[in-house]
Structure 1
Amino acid sequence: MTLKPDFLVGDSDYQLGRELEVSSPEGELHLRFFIPSHQEFALLATGIREVIELSPDRITPIPNASPLLLGTLNLRGRVIWVADLGQFLGDATPLNTDRAEIPVIAIEEQETIVGLAVDSIGGMDWLLVQHLAAPTNIPDIAAPFLRGEWYSSTEGNSSLRLLDQTAILRSARWAG
């Protein structure tokens, strides 16, 4: 059991001196996001360095680089590659870069950082990894990067797919 901090307690509750109880989160914290084809994915929060929304002109295109890469970005004095995550996962719909801001998820393992450009951020959720099922109906190119998926019967049988950020960072697809 955890107690709600004072700044989350309504004035009347605070004046009466009551403490509100909230349940402890279960599972692990994940970031949910969407790629251009409106598929929803998640990444474990502990592997995410930061999430930024930036103007497309802050991404510098690199000639003769892999078509998966949008270019490079200066992230606090460090140059990192930025990739279209949907294209990396084999999605046919390219990321729309003709807009005011692009969400980029910077994932990190040891000394390697890559920025994953996505269509939109869905939020943070505590998810139980024990409820993961084997992924279904996925392109062969995406299979090595998926740890599983959660199904929701309450939201029209939609699914939320969990990505393996280590597999993404270590992929040989970056060289292609």
Structure 2
Amino acid sequence: MQTSALTLNSDQTRGNLVAPQKAPGDAYLKFEIAQGIQAVIPMHQVQEVLVLPPQRLTAMPNMPACILGLMHRRSRVLWAADLSKLLEVGSLDPSPRQYDLMILRTVSTAIAIAVERVDGILSIPPETIQPTPSHIAVNLIAYLRGCVLQSQDFLLVLDAESILQSAVFQGHQPFQS
């Protein structure tokens, strides 16, 4: 199976991929973290979305359970991690045919995050993002900007910066650009 990718840049996410006319609100990538847990992340924090067979990941010994391994992408070596294990809300299929990955990027760090499924791009007006409800697990709060109810879906609004600053990745930065 070949790698397939969708590279996202700011012009595409604000124009062609969201809608022919700019919808009110900011662009977010919608995905399923684990079975039944839906989330969004701001598009400006997502560099790329791709599908990758597990054979393209190199497992590394003595790493936290959420680390799937190392991958090579566009002349860079990146960690690939299971977001559901990182957030302690479940885990992905242990023997998948392929991984749905999002490459999250900040100024100095990029990490591939595996999720159950990538659903597409949404436009979310900032005023519709609500504070995190009290019933959300404590381990998730550090990674959330809030939540939003859209079309009967309860969506967690994640922050890539917080994910990339997770203690799991500190001291495990392979080769940063």
- In the TM superposition, what is the alpha-carbon distance from 1:167 to its structure 2 partner? 0.9
Q: Distance in 2 between matches of 1:151 and 1:126?
A: 13
Question: Counterpart in 1 of 2:13?
Answer: none
Corresponding position of 1:4: none
Q: Is the 8 A contact 1:56 1:97 kept in 2?
A: no
Residue by residue, what CA displacement relative to the aligned partner does 1:153-174 show, whole Å, maximum 9, x if unpaired? x52xx31111011111112233
| Matched ranges for 1:91-102 at <5 A | 91=89, 93-102=90-99
2:145 and 2:24 mapped to 1: Cα distance?
19
Q: Which residue of 2 aligns with 1:111?
A: 108
**Distance of 1:131 and 1:122 partners within structure 2:** 20
Task: Note the alpha carbon deviations across 1:31-85, whole angstroms, 9 max, x for none.
Answer: 0000223200001001111000010111111000111111111011211001100
Deviations 1:77-105 (A, max 9, x none): 211001100111111x2111422211000
Asked whether 1:167 is paired with 2:162, we answer yes
**Deviant stretches of 4+, over 4 Å:** none
Gaps of at least 5 residues in structure 2 are 1-19, 172-177
Distance, in Å, in 2 between the alignment partners of 1:34 and 1:129 is: 21
RMSD: 1.7
Corresponding residue pairs, total? 151
2:146 pairs with 1:148: yes
Question: After the TM superposition, which of the residue ranges 97-106 and 41-50 deviates more from structure 2?
Answer: 97-106
TM-score, normalised by the number of residues in structure 2:
0.80
Q: Identity over the aligned pairs, expressed in percent?
A: 26
Answer yes or no: is the 8 Å Cα contact 1:107–1:116 preserved in 2.
Answer: yes
Tell me the amino acid that sits aligned with residue 114 of structure 1. I
Partner-residue secondary structure (3-state), 1:31: strand
2:17 match: none
For residue 105 of structure 2, what is the amino acid of its counterpart? Answer: E
Aligned residue in 1 for 2:73: 75
Greater Rg over alpha carbons, structure = 1
> What does 1:21-170 correspond to in 2, within 5 Å?
24-91=22-89, 93-136=90-133, 137-152=135-150, 154-155=151-152, 158-170=153-165
Q: Hey, which of these two has a bigger chunk of helix by percent? A: 1
Pairwise CA distance, 1:24? 3.6
For residue 111 of structure 1, report the CA deviation from its aligned partner: 2.1
For 2:108, give the aligned amino acid. E
TM-score (norm 1): 0.80
Task: For 2:100, give the aligned amino acid.
Answer: P
Q: Determine if contact 1:84/1:95 at 8 Å carries over to the other structure.
A: yes
